[in-house]
Structure 1
Amino acid sequence: MRLLARSVLPTRSPPTHRAPHAPRQHSTSAPSKDAATAALSPRWLSDLKTRVGQCIAFGISREQVKEAGDILHNVNFNWKDLVAGSEGFLTGKHRWGLHRQQVAWGEMDSMGHVNNVTYNRWAESARVNWGMNFARMDTDHRDEWEALVTPKGIGMILRSIRTDYKFPIKYPDRVTVLHRLRSMPKADTDHFILDVVILSELHRRVAARCVEDIVMYNYKAGKKSAMEPFMIDMLQETFNLQEQAKLKYGNKALELIRRVQALEKASWDRPDAKEDFGSANP
């Protein structure tokens, strides 16, 4: 028996959920205000996936399906660049602090999520690796860079740390932790600020943000010390790369948002849109 297809399709109606674009509140550990994504929801990337899914569910053409697939491919495979790179964090493998660090079951507390202290430990371990990355890049001064995490000469001391928890991480998950210089280091600098993002690989968004106040300390002299000129040069180069990453990936993020908006305008949000329920014929 053949079922009759519906002769009249319902008029268009917006999806039940559309990603909000309200400006987010800033704190001392919020994204830098000049980042292209600073005013977006913390869930903006996952919201994009939801919005693309709503377009597909409403019914789109073959060409639009191809466009939707390319958008989702970018979101899924370049999410660290889009989330962290757009804020100026360097996401290349030579810049990782921690990369896909396995969350241990024993790191959870009685509340069923990772204990708050663990976030600071991740940030600390990542900061050490962040410093060691310079030793691998600047082989002429490898010993001096490696000495930064020892009490043998001039080292980095954590003066203070502030952590803002965005959502609780639970086992199983993996975390990636990245550091970013907040400002351009100057000659004779004896301290600097590092911004930190702790990314959940499972949820593909920021789980926590930290701000670390770092002091250069001469253990032999027992007092603060200015950074060596070669260190200033490396950190200035790093800061410039951060600014380039912020521009590059910020523009890519905004372009993805524009593409999703265009897909919506061409599907459920066009004036004559009618939802495609498919054929009822067997």
Structure 2
Amino acid sequence: MRSTATRLHTRLSRLGTTHFHLPPINGIRAGPRDPENPTLPNQRQLYQRIGRCLAFGCDVESTNYAARLLKTITADWRNIQAIIQGFYDPVNVVYTGRLRDGEHTRRPWHSITRESNLAYIAEKSTMRFLDFIVETAAPEDKRRWEVLRDHPSKDEQLAVIDISNELTPLRPRSFPFLSLMPQTVSAYSRLYANDYRNTNHFKIKTVIFSHTHLVRIADINVMLKHYTRVFTPSPEFPSPWLGRELERMVKLISNEAERSAALKEGYRIMGAVDKLEKATWKDPNAAEDFGSAAP
């Protein structure tokens, strides 16, 4: 059986070819409040600190220590950041793929230039998240998901109606130029806002991390709409089962214990980097030797 990502691809990619003339969306309830996000350095900063230690000169023991540390950061740091930011089970829900080459689209989208590459990744990550929801649903609800996924009709469909690149005071352009080159990225998605019972809308938030730039390059919001009876804005009758499933999705965020454990692991890794620095260029008795561990 094909995955949800395959089955929903056509409907979730309607954004570029289908236009829905809908009234302004008002009253969207906030989703689960973003957990307080303690400041952690990005992956690039940690690599730069370790690189400075190696450039200063490490003995064999310190070089091996740095290699183990780099391996741990490469494998775990993005997941640590995702858990701290509230994403559920990032190891199993992450979508990893390639940004394609090419210029971003110039057409304005709610006064924001929409990068088509980022929209594509956000759609794929959203579908991966929906895969996870289908896989973990109760048997009867799973059957309903599969009907919605495999046999959409004019009476019932799920469609994307908006994709926007979230702007923040600290990220006013959300690093648009970092997304223009081909690169591998990892994306994490979760339910961000749920107004299904009132408007049939719900919003999925996706954060995208670059494996090339080693930083978070975008926050993308994907607005979906469940059309029932007829594929028009009205009349609409929300399905009780999907309402229940969205309530379940609201709870699929990392809990306080998981965020605390992830933060503790992040600080442990940062402490290991501090230890390496103190053994090399921060050691007042150390002498710069540019690679004494080299064979």
| Residue 76 of structure 1, aligned match among 74, 77, 85 | 74
1:44-68 deviation line (CA, Å, top 9, x unaligned):
2111111112112223344433322
- 1:146 lines up with 2:162 in the alignment: no
2:164 maps to 162
- 1:35 lines up with 2:37 in the alignment: yes
More helix by share: 2
2:289 maps to 276
**Do the aligned residues in 2 keep the contact of 1:88 with 1:244 (CA within 8 Å)?**
no
**Do the aligned residues in 2 keep the contact of 1:131 with 1:148 (CA within 8 Å)?**
no
Query: Kindly tell me: are residues 197 and 203 of structure 1, through their superposed partners in 2, closer, same or farther at Cα, counting changes over 3 Å?
Result: same
**Do the aligned residues in 1 keep the contact of 2:196 with 2:202 (CA within 8 Å)?**
no
Larger Rg: 1
Query: Kindly tell me: are residues 151 and 202 of structure 1, through their superposed partners in 2, closer, same or farther at Cα, counting changes over 3 Å?
Result: farther
| Residue 238 of structure 1, aligned match among 207, 228, 252 | 252
1:177-203 deviation line (CA, Å, top 9, x unaligned):
3202337x7996865443211233333
2:268 maps to 255
**Do the aligned residues in 1 keep the contact of 2:195 with 2:202 (CA within 8 Å)?**
no
**Tell me, which stretches of 5 or more residues in structure 1 are unaligned?**
1-27
1:132 maps to 131
| RMSD value, Cα | 3.8
1:225: Cα distance to partner? 2.3
**Do the aligned residues in 1 keep the contact of 2:188 with 2:208 (CA within 8 Å)?**
yes
**Tell me, which stretches of 5 or more residues in structure 2 are unaligned?**
1-29, 107-113, 167-173
Q: How far apart in 1 are the matches of 2:105 and 2:159?
A: 32
1:17 maps to none
2:58 maps to 60
Q: How far apart in 1 are the matches of 2:131 and 2:81?
A: 24
Q: How far apart in 2 are the matches of 1:180 and 1:110?
A: 25
1:10 maps to none
2:18 maps to none
Q: How far apart in 2 are the matches of 1:277 and 1:222?
A: 72
> Sequence identity of aligned pairs in percent?
21
Q: How far apart in 2 are the matches of 1:223 and 1:53?
A: 58
TM-score, normalization: structure 1? 0.66
Q: How far apart in 2 are the matches of 1:153 and 1:253?
A: 48
**1:145 alignment partner, SS class:** helix
**Counterpart residue type for residue 144 of structure 1:** R
**1:223 alignment partner, SS class:** coil
1:227: Cα distance to partner? 5.0
Query: How many residues of Structure 1 are paired with residues of Structure 2 in the alignment?
Result: 237
